[in-house]
């Protein structure tokens, strides 16, 4: 009996060690499911913002409870939209910071903007105005934004099909700047509609692109527009490495990595992919590269961009803009 | 490549059979199992708008064979390699055929002292360190449902309360003539996940136990469990570390008339740390679990009284991983209604759908589902709970087993309020082997069970009040009407009514939000079938029909019926 008593004493003495558990976990239920009250008005930290010089806008607000919120900033001229969402009791840094980036294209321009705060389950919305003095600058190597037309160093090939339109356009569709490349046509004997080669020599005169050597820190980005009610396009990028910097890329002794995009959406979409994630594709299937089998972005000698479509389908069309290498996924 | 697999497999089998003949019978054995399931399924959606989108019927199935070669080249080493060939019905040569390695392990003994095993391991420590609680499973399930439940256990390598891991395990024991009787050591190290060299580090899991048997009356021990990321396997990342250390004590004493009192306790503490991550503070807490069982052999009775106190910040991923992943797609009528919304899981899925079951422990705290367990969703390792329980167990040698348990628990720290939730669970399980009681040879088993759970919170602010009641009950009959041929009947009912607030946690398991839920849910799951047992219970052919209704009176999700006819052949050898 004495032993049992000692056993029980040992356990109960441990029980008394419980730390203080006053307070509770998580947000207050009374607040969460009680009536909503705006405790601090929705504000923007600046009336006007110079994104090009690294300035940002901080949106702030405070509520009496944690609530799902959504800020939609709309460019009054471009109709670009930036959407920021969260679930919290306050909107503050870092969640409330806008650096000039875009969620729904086109990208913002120098223009007036209106930011609207809407809250889950609350009928009222709140708004503030701000003005963009200069747009956000994306750091990276721009391969093509088509603002200055075709670079004479590029090589273009377009099939002689029907309704061919492989031209740079300025018709208000551009997601970045004012121009983009339209790629459309009917080629009923071949998958290829048209292509452009971007040689490394067009970007600083060297035999390879001036990119970092670490493939994990190189991202290729582009904006592609899927045309509604049109046959699916296939955009293929071939990144051809010139491993020995000869200026003459032998496909049998050099690596090639590929990015194949099925344009099966409508509207503009950002494509962003890390160079080290790219496979080599042989007839659309992953295969072993023919060079050193290492991703070497600093050895890319040429990029080929091909617009493809199933020849039995007929007319295919898509638009493309803003081909850029960055060190992290592009935040346009 | 796939076309080469079968010839290679046949060649391998031929070699194995030759080896079997060539060597002593005890040195090479073929082990494994075979199964074939074909089923016809039907869903009926009871939505306000007729569902014309969901494909209502589907027929499918598979045949598989697990072939393992258990080799004992000498008395110190045993090796098992098992592969699986599976063919989905309708597949043929490369389409629907898969070929996998299912098990691979090697075990042996070093110097007649240290036992070791490498490769696949089935690991278990204590309920607070590494333990698969199967917290949401229905105990003593009728045989008509248990057949498919046992297939899940086989598929996921659930052996009692073990978790399947890959790594190395060693154990050895020392015997003493004075002061101590015996000391047993066990240690293991396994790899939870491999690195992707960028963001996910190598994560290892290890554990050690030392159990000291001082005498027939006294034993005690230490258990350690650690999960940690290996530094340097990814560049500059936050590293996770979860450690649990526990002490267990045991004391047994005998009284007159062979009565025995068995006292056991385990207490310990845990720590979870995310290095470098400013959003996560470390979580530290402790637990105590103690119980005493009075065994009255003359009366065939056991009485148990226990106390449980598990801190709100106690985290042990080895003991708090759930076997059911409620976030997993069932891969069986995933979507329904014209809007093709996700179909809520039903008892039908919990009992028979292996796709929602986990094989390994999860590093993140897995969500619980109050419909299936609102009191102890992580078994005894459920955190933020304290209280007591009592159990009575009656076992009559001639075919009666009755078990009743009652838990009365409360939270330690409030969730979204200072008011605490109170929980009760009353569970009754009974099994009657009527053939033994009435002394006839053909099998006639009846099993009954019920589990009633309540969750209740009363607060000054009515909006914080919680009242949720759940009743699960089941009944089953297994009747051998012709030699080796059984009629199987069974029913499971599950009813949930009331409201609760479900915490929504971030990746550090901290509560960020509460989801308010209201239930008025009833589920009925019934089944009938005929089973023919061949040489033993391990080989059977069963034709069964099961019918499930899921009725949501709140219409949070539209109600539906599911029914299935299945033909199952299963054997293990």
* C-alpha Rg value of chain A to the nearest Å: 27
Yes or no, beta carbons of B417 and A28 under 8 Å apart: yes
Region A58-65: what's the mean pLDDT?
92
Distance between B416 CA and the closest CA of chain A, angstroms: 4
Measure the CA–CA gap between B99 and B91, rounded to whole angstroms.
Answer: 13
Yes or no, beta carbons of A18 and B413 under 8 Å apart: no
Yes or no, beta carbons of A7 and B412 under 8 Å apart: no
User: Which single residue is written with the structure tokens 């449980």?
Assistant: B308
Measure the CA–CA gap between A322 and A146, rounded to whole angstroms.
Answer: 8
Residues in chain A closer than 8 A to B308 (CB atoms): none
Beta bridge partners of B69: B30, B81
Q: Chain B residue with minimal CA distance to A66?
A: B513
Measure the CA–CA gap between B187 and B116, rounded to whole angstroms.
Answer: 9
For residue B385, the Cα-to-chain-centroid distance in whole angstroms is 21
| Geometric angle at alpha carbon B295, from B293 and B297, rounded to 5° | 165
Distance between B134 CA and the closest CA of chain A, angstroms: 26
Give the number of C-alpha atoms closer than 13 A to the C-alpha of residue A296, restricted to the C-beta side.
Answer: 20
Kindly state the DSSP code that residue B232 receives in the 8-state scheme: T
pLDDT at B198: 67
pLDDT in tens, A243-256: 988 888 998 899 99
Asked if pLDDT for residue B346 goes beyond 70, the answer is: yes
Region B2-12: what's the mean pLDDT?
44
Asked if pLDDT for residue B209 goes beyond 50, the answer is: yes
Yes or no, beta carbons of A27 and B503 under 8 Å apart: no
Q: Chain B residue with minimal CA distance to A29?
A: B416
pLDDT at A18: 56
For residue B420, the Cα-to-chain-centroid distance in whole angstroms is 29
Residues in chain A closer than 8 A to B512 (CB atoms): 26-27, 66, 87
Measure the CA–CA gap between A175 and A269, rounded to whole angstroms.
Answer: 10
pLDDT in tens, B97-117: 778 899 999 999 998 899 999
Distance between A124 CA and the closest CA of chain B, angstroms: 22
Task: Determine contact, residues B54/B333, Cβ cutoff 8 Å.
Answer: yes
Distances (CA, A) of A59 to A125, A130, A202: 14, 11, 42
pLDDT at B2: 45
pLDDT at B96: 62
- Residue among B173, B154, B171, B159 nearest B124 (CA): B159
pLDDT at B500: 96
Task: Determine contact, residues B209/B194, Cβ cutoff 8 Å.
Answer: no
Nearest CB partner across the interface for B417, out of A21, A30, A87? A30
Asked if pLDDT for residue A306 goes beyond 90, the answer is: yes
pLDDT in tens, B31-67: 999 999 999 999 999 988 888 888 888 888 999 999 9
Measure the CA–CA gap between B279 and B406, rounded to whole angstroms.
Answer: 40
Task: Determine contact, residues B478/B444, Cβ cutoff 8 Å.
Answer: yes
Residues in chain B closer than 8 A to A15 (CB atoms): 288, 309
Measure the CA–CA gap between A226 and B200, rounded to whole angstroms.
Answer: 34
Task: Determine contact, residues A144/A187, Cβ cutoff 8 Å.
Answer: no
Mutate to test the interface with A, among B285, B411, B414, B419 (most CBs of A within 10 A): B414
Yes or no, beta carbons of B512 and A22 under 8 Å apart: no
pLDDT at B6: 44
The model's confidence at residue B237, banded by pLDDT at 50, 70 and 90, is low
Tokens, residue B233: 């396997």
Mutate to test the interface with B, among A9, A10, A23, A25 (most CBs of B within 10 A): A25
Nearest CB partner across the interface for A29, out of B267, B286, B463? B463
Taken in order B326, B330, B336, B339, is the CA torsion positive or negative? positive
The model's confidence at residue B330, banded by pLDDT at 50, 70 and 90, is confident
Q: Return the higher-pLDDT residue of A302 and A4.
A: A302
Measure the CA–CA gap between A63 and B410, rounded to whole angstroms.
Answer: 32
Q: Chain A residue with minimal CA distance to B506?
A: A26
Measure the CA–CA gap between B478 and B485, rounded to whole angstroms.
Answer: 10
pLDDT in tens, B540-560: 999 999 999 999 999 889 999
Measure the CA–CA gap between A71 and A64, rounded to whole angstroms.
Answer: 18
For strand B341-342 and strand A125-134, is the pairing parallel, antiparallel, or unpaired? unpaired
Mutate to test the interface with A, among B266, B315, B513, B515 (most CBs of A within 10 A): B513
Domain ranges of chain A: 29-134, 141-326
- Residue among A271, A274, A136, A249 nearest A198 (CA): A249
% of chain B surpassing 70 pLDDT: 92
Mutate to test the interface with B, among A7, A9, A285 (most CBs of B within 10 A): A7
Task: Determine contact, residues A148/A168, Cβ cutoff 8 Å.
Answer: no
- Residue among B293, B315, B295, B313 nearest B304 (CA): B293
Any alpha helices (H) in A96-199, and if so which ranges? none
Contacts of B408 (CB under 8 A, 6+ apart): B387, B388, B389, B422, B423, B424
- Residue among A157, A143, A137 nearest A209 (CA): A143
Mutate to test the interface with B, among A4, A26, A275 (most CBs of B within 10 A): A26
Torsions phi, psi for B19 (to 5 deg): -65, -35
Name every residue in A having a CB less than 8 A away from some CB of B.
3-4, 7-8, 10-11, 14-15, 17-19, 21-30, 32-34, 66, 87, 216
Residues in chain A closer than 8 A to B265 (CB atoms): 7, 10-11
Residue B9 host element (H or E) = helix B2-22
pLDDT at B232: 78
Yes or no, beta carbons of A15 and B198 under 8 Å apart: no
Distance between B264 CA and the closest CA of chain A, angstroms: 9
Measure the CA–CA gap between B154 and B31, rounded to whole angstroms.
Answer: 14
Yes or no, beta carbons of B416 and A24 under 8 Å apart: yes
Asked if pLDDT for residue B385 goes beyond 80, the answer is: yes
Measure the CA–CA gap between A65 and B404, rounded to whole angstroms.
Answer: 44
Distance between B465 CA and the closest CA of chain A, angstroms: 10
Contacts of A37 (CB under 8 A, 6+ apart): A63, A64
Task: Determine contact, residues B218/B311, Cβ cutoff 8 Å.
Answer: no
Measure the CA–CA gap between B537 and B535, rounded to whole angstroms.
Answer: 7
Task: Determine contact, residues B408/B388, Cβ cutoff 8 Å.
Answer: yes
Question: In the CATH scheme, what is the homologous superfamily, with its name and number, of domain A141-326?
Answer: Galactose-binding lectin (2.60.120.430)
Region B189-212: what's the mean pLDDT?
87
pLDDT at A5: 61
The model's confidence at residue B14, banded by pLDDT at 50, 70 and 90, is very low
Asked if pLDDT for residue B313 goes beyond 50, the answer is: yes
Chain A / chain B CB contacts < 8 angstroms: 92
Residues in chain B closer than 8 A to A14 (CB atoms): 267, 286, 288
Asked if pLDDT for residue B463 goes beyond 80, the answer is: yes
DSSP secondary structure string for all residues of B502-565: EEEE-TTS-EEEEEEEEEEEEEEEEEEEEEEE-SSTTEEEEEEEEEEEEEETT-SS-EEEEEEE
Task: Determine contact, residues B131/B124, Cβ cutoff 8 Å.
Answer: yes
Yes or no, beta carbons of B251 and A30 under 8 Å apart: no
Asked if pLDDT for residue B514 goes beyond 80, the answer is: yes
Yes or no, beta carbons of A25 and B503 under 8 Å apart: yes
Torsions phi, psi for B230 (to 5 deg): -90, 120
Distance between A27 CA and the closest CA of chain B, angstroms: 5
pLDDT in tens, A96-146: 999 999 999 999 999 999 999 999 888 889 999 999 999 999 999 999 999
pLDDT at A15: 56
Q: Chain A residue with minimal CA distance to B199?
A: A216
Tokens, residue B127: 């309920």
Task: Determine contact, residues A185/A159, Cβ cutoff 8 Å.
Answer: yes
Yes or no, beta carbons of B307 and A11 under 8 Å apart: yes
Asked if pLDDT for residue B18 goes beyond 50, the answer is: no
Nearest CB partner across the interface for B416, out of A3, A8, A28? A28
End-to-end Cα, chain B, rounded Å? 30
Asked if pLDDT for residue B419 goes beyond 90, the answer is: yes
pLDDT at B99: 85
Distance between A177 CA and the closest CA of chain B, angstroms: 34
Contacts of A20 (CB under 8 A, 6+ apart): none
The model's confidence at residue B12, banded by pLDDT at 50, 70 and 90, is very low
- Percent helix, percent strand, percent coil in chain B, to nearest 5: 10, 55, 30
The model's confidence at residue B19, banded by pLDDT at 50, 70 and 90, is very low
Nearest CB partner across the interface for A27, out of B198, B292, B513? B513
Distance between B127 CA and the closest CA of chain A, angstroms: 17
% of chain B surpassing 90 pLDDT: 70
Mean pLDDT of chain B: 90
Tokens, residue A37: 């009250």
Asked if pLDDT for residue B1 goes beyond 60, the answer is: no
Yes or no, beta carbons of A25 and B510 under 8 Å apart: yes
pLDDT at B7: 45
pLDDT at B332: 83
Yes or no, beta carbons of A17 and B251 under 8 Å apart: no
Yes or no, beta carbons of B463 and A33 under 8 Å apart: yes
The model's confidence at residue A1, banded by pLDDT at 50, 70 and 90, is low
Report the greatest alpha carbon distance in chain A. 101
pLDDT at A70: 95
Distance between A75 CA and the closest CA of chain B, angstroms: 33
pLDDT in tens, A82-108: 999 998 889 998 899 999 999 999 999
Q: Chain B residue with minimal CA distance to A20?
A: B413
Name every residue in B having a CB less than 8 A away from some CB of A.
198, 249, 251, 253, 261, 263, 265, 267, 285-286, 288, 290, 292, 307, 309, 311-312, 384, 412-418, 461, 463-464, 501, 503, 510-514, 516
CATH of segment(s) A29-134: 2.60.40.2550
Measure the CA–CA gap between A266 and A233, rounded to whole angstroms.
Answer: 12
pLDDT at A12: 59
Nearest CB partner across the interface for B516, out of A18, A27, A33? A33
Measure the CA–CA gap between B439 and B430, rounded to whole angstroms.
Answer: 19
Q: Return the higher-pLDDT residue of B267 and A6.
A: B267
Distance between A123 CA and the closest CA of chain B, angstroms: 20
Any alpha helices (H) in chain A, and if so which ranges? 2-15, 29-32
């Amino acid at each position: 009996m004495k032993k049992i008593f000692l056993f029980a004493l040992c356990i109960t003495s441990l029980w008394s060690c419980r730390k203080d558990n006053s307070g509770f976990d998580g947000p207050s239920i009374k607040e969460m499911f009680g009536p909503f009250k705006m405790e601090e008005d929705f504000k923007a930290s600046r009336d006007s913002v110079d994104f090009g010089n690294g300035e940002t806008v901080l949106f702030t607000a405070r509520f009496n409870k944690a609530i799902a919120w959504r800020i939609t900033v709309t460019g009054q001229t471009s109709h670009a939209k930036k959407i920021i969402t969260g679930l919290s009791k306050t909107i503050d840094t870092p969640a409330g910071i806008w650096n000039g980036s875009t969620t729904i294209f086109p990208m913002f321009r120098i223009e007036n903007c209106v930011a609207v705060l809407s809250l889950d389950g609350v009928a009222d919305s709140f708004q503030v105005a701000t003005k963009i003095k200069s747009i956000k600058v994306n750091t990276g190597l721009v391969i093509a934004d088509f603002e200055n037309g075709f670079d004479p160093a590029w090589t273009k090939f377009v099939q002689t099909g029907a309704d061919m339109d492989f031209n740079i356009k300025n018709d208000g569709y551009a997601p970045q700047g004012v121009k983009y490349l339209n790629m459309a046509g009917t080629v009923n004997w071949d998958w290829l509609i048209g292509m452009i080669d971007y040689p490394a020599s067009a970007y600083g005169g060297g035999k390879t692109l001036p990119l970092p050597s670490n493939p994990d820190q190189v991202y290729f980005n582009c904006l592609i527009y899927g045309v509604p009610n049109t046959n699916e396009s296939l955009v293929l990028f071939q990144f051809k490495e010139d491993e020995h910097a000869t200026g003459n890329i032998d496909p049998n002794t050099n690596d090639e990595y590929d990015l194949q995009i099925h344009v099966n959406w409508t509207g503009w979409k950002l494509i962003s992919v890390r160079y080290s994630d790219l496979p080599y594709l042989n007839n659309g299937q992953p295969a072993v590269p023919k060079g050193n089998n290492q991703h070497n972005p600093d050895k890319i000698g040429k990029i080929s961009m091909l617009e493809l479509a199933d020849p039995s389908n007929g007319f295919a069309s898509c638009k493309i803009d803003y081909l850029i290498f960055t060190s992290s996924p592009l935040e346009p | 490549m796939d076309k080469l697999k079968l010839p290679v497999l046949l060649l391998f089998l031929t070699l194995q059979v030759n080896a079997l003949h060539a060597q002593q019978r005890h040195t090479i054995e073929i082990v494994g199992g075979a199964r074939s399931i074909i089923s016809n399924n039907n869903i009926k959606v009871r939505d306000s708008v007729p569902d014309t989108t969901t494909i209502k019927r589907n027929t499918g199935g598979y045949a598989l064979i697990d072939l393992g070669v258990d080799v004992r080249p000498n008395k110190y080493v045993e090796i098992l390699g098992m592969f699986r060939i599976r063919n989905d019905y309708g597949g043929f040569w490369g389409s629907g055929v898969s070929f996998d390695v299912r098990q691979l392990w090697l075990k042996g003994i070093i110097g007649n002292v240290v036992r070791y095993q490498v490769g696949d391991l089935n690991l278990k420590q204590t309920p607070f360190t590494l333990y698969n609680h199967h917290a949401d499973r229905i105990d003593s399930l009728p045989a008509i449902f248990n057949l498919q439940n046992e297939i899940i256990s086989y598929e996921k390598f659930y052996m009692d309360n073990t978790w399947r891991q890959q790594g190395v395990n060693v154990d050895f024991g020392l015997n003493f003539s004075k002061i101590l009787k015996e000391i047993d050591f066990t240690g293991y190290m396994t790899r939870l996940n491999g690195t992707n060299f960028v963001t996910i580090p190598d994560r290892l899991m290890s554990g050690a136990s030392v159990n000291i048997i001082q005498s027939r009356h006294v034993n005690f021990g230490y258990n350690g469990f650690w999960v940690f990321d290996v530094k340097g396997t990814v560049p500059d990342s936050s590293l996770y570390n979860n450690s649990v250390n526990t002490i267990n004590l045991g004391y047994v004493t005998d009284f007159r008339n062979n009565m025995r009192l068995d006292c056991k306790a385990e207490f310990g503490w845990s720590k979870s740390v995310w290095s470098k991550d400013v959003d996560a503070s470390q979580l530290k807490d402790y637990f105590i679990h103690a119980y005493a069982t009075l065994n009255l052999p003359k009366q065939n009775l056991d009485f148990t009284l226990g106390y449980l106190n598990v801190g709100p910040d106690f985290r042990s991923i080895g003991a708090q991983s759930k076997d059911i992943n409620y976030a997993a797609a069932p891969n069986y009528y995933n979507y329904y209604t014209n809007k093709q919304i996700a179909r809520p899981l039903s008892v039908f899925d919990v009992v028979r759908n292996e796709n929602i079951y986990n094989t390994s422990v999860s590093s993140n705290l897995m969500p619980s589902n109050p419909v299936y367990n609102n009191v102890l969703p992580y078994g005894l390792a459920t955190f933020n709970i304290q209280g007591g329980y009592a159990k009575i167990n009656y076992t009559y040698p001639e075919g009666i087993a009755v078990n009743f348990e009652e838990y009365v628990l409360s939270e330690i720290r409030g969730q979204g309020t200072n008011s605490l939730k109170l929980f009760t669970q009353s569970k009754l399980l009974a099994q009657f082997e009527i053939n033994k009681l009435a002394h006839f040879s053909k099998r006639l088993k009846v099993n009954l069970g019920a589990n009633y759970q309540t969750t209740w919170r009363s607060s000054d602010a009515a909006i914080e009040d919680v009242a949720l009641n759940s009743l699960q009950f089941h009944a089953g009959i297994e009747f051998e009407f012709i030699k080796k041929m059984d009629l199987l009947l069974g029913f499971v009912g599950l009813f949930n009514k009331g409201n609760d607030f479900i915490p929504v946690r971030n990746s550090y398991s901290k509560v960020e939000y509460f989801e308010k839920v209201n239930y008025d849910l009833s589920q009925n799951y019934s089944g009938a079938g005929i089973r023919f047992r061949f040489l033993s219970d391990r080989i059977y052919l069963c034709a069964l029909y099961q019918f499930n209704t899921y009725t949501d009176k709140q219409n949070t999700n539209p109600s539906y019926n599911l029914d299935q006819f299945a033909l199952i052949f299963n054997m293990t050898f």
